[in-house]
Amino acid sequence: MPPIRRALLSVHDKSGLVPLAAALHARGVELLSTGGTLNALRAHGLPVTAVADLTGFPEILDGRVKTLHPAIHAGLLADRGKQEHLAALAAHGFAPIDLLVVNLYPFSRTVAAGASPADCVEMIDIGGPAMLRAAAKNHTGVTVVSDPADYPELLAALAEHDGEVPLALRQRFAARVFAATAAYDRAVAAWLAREAAGGESEPFPARLDLSLDRLFVPRYGENPHQAAAVYAVHGGGGVLGGFTQLQGKELSWNNLLDADAARRLIARFPAEPAVAIVKHNNPCGVGRGETLRTAWERALACDPVSAFGSIVACSEELDEATAAAIAELFVEVVIAPGVAPAARERLADRRQLRLLVAPPFTAPPGTYELRGIDGGFLAQSSDAGEDDPAAWRVPTRRAPTPEEMAALAFAWKVVRHVRSNAIVVANAVQTIGIGAGQMSRVDSCRLAVGKAV
């Protein structure tokens, strides 16, 4: 492939745009652009040709039609290896476009922000996907980039190969583009289906497409001999609510599973200081109190032996007193909606401890869970509802006392998050015995009662 001579840049996300364009210009590449991208480049003194000047046709319909023109698409789609294609370009006064840099309108972000249907429709990109698909199809002769994160890789290739881009890299870029446009179309289709259903998601659609972005590759999976990767829903809020890790080693597969379980459990106590201690996806203690430290002490009292090497979730900002108490025990992860500066300082010397900040877990209406089986998935609605103890039916001759009812309400919040067979013995402020994962309910009862006494 000859060196890149002509590039079309038209982006919504302008991160890294000017340095990229400047580097291309320095290599003698002719720059073409549209709308806001054109203005941004000209504002930095870069010579750019407007697409409207190239096509001889102005932007119309409030910018809905800018690049949908043969001068653009022929330049992207012409097969450089076919003389008849090149002759057709010349006959019409067109020229090849060697590099396309386009990213799409932020449709998913617009929907997530609660924009009106009309505004969401305006964020359905038409010209962008059309150009991206055309360039990606013709990747043997065209380089296409849709993500600013790929700009450094593109520039490095140009520098290493004297202005050319190797075929293998063009193929990788093209694959990323088709993945991006497919995810974009899925998001639009899902939104339109919700709109058609009056704003409600279809519980279990006839076709379910997953679009996931790989975040990182941990050292191994559940066991050391298993390879693993961590993925996030494309366009979603991020794994564990888009957490921030303040300190500690990289999270492992098991850390993430347990942190998710702990975060889901502690969300049952949104308006009070509460702590959940989780290990192997099961709580080994849950407590609440007037302070977070009191809640920690009550949670730990349930099973202090199992709490070694556990994951701890807090319902509110981690304070210094609670951090000091937690620091007395080896724990793998602490996750909270916030961490006070003094608490962070208190835990700073625990370098193995992974300290995470994440928003409280929520399950929006209509969300469901997937579990893989051979050849497919099982789907079910999220177990996110809350129970009203006042609506419970009491079949026994003696009704529970108010104190017993408070203990039952607390235990019921916890037992939802214990693997079956699940038994929880509790009072109104803490678990005092938990039996989990036994094939027999009797054995789970023996475990729970044994810890309680």
* Catalytic machinery residues: 137, 280
Beta partners for 44? none
Half-sphere exposure of 47 (CA within 13 A, CB side): 7
Contact (CB, 8 A) for 78 and 95? no
What the block records as the tokens of 265 is 């459990």
Backbone φ and ψ of 109, nearest 5°: -65, -35
